[in-house]
């Protein structure tokens, strides 16, 4: 399963615990990337929930951005 927002990134919906978790885990960075929704892989309950919130189906991942971020993390001291 791929997780991530299916629309534009909106900081209002970022988990409030991120700064604390980053500090506790010594994370180098935090970034949110768009995800993917394939309704054919969901249970009946999940499909009902997705339909109720009108979540768009499709693959919204930006692989170039994901790879670029991974390279930044790998190159960081």
DSSP 3-state of 36: strand
State the pTM of this model. Answer: 0.70
Task: Let me know if residue 23 belongs to a domain.
Answer: yes
Task: Let me know if residue 37 belongs to a domain.
Answer: yes
Could you tell me the residue range of the domain that residue 42 belongs to? Answer: 17-75
DSSP 3-state of 66: helix
- The answer to whether residue 74 scores a pLDDT higher than 80 is yes
Task: Let me know if residue 5 belongs to a domain.
Answer: no
| Number of folded domains that form the chain | 1
Task: Let me know if residue 68 belongs to a domain.
Answer: yes
Task: Let me know if residue 6 belongs to a domain.
Answer: no
Task: Let me know if residue 3 belongs to a domain.
Answer: no
Which position has the token pair 């991530």? 4
Side-chain-side CA neighbours of residue 30 (13 Å): 14
13-65 confidence digits (pLDDT tens): 778 888 899 999 998 888 888 889 999 999 999 999 999 988 889 998 999 99
* 32 close to 4: Cβ distance less than 8 angstroms: yes
């Amino acid at each position: 399963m791929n997780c991530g927002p299916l629309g534009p990134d909106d900081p209002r919906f970022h988990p409030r615990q991120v700064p604390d978790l980053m500090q506790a885990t010594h994370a180098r960075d935090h970034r949110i990337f768009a995800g993917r929704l394939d309704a054919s892989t969901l249970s009946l309950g999940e499909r009902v929930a997705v339909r109720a919130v009108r979540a768009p189906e499709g693959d919204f991942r930006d692989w170039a951005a994901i790879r670029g971020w991974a390279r930044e993390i790998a190159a960081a001291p």
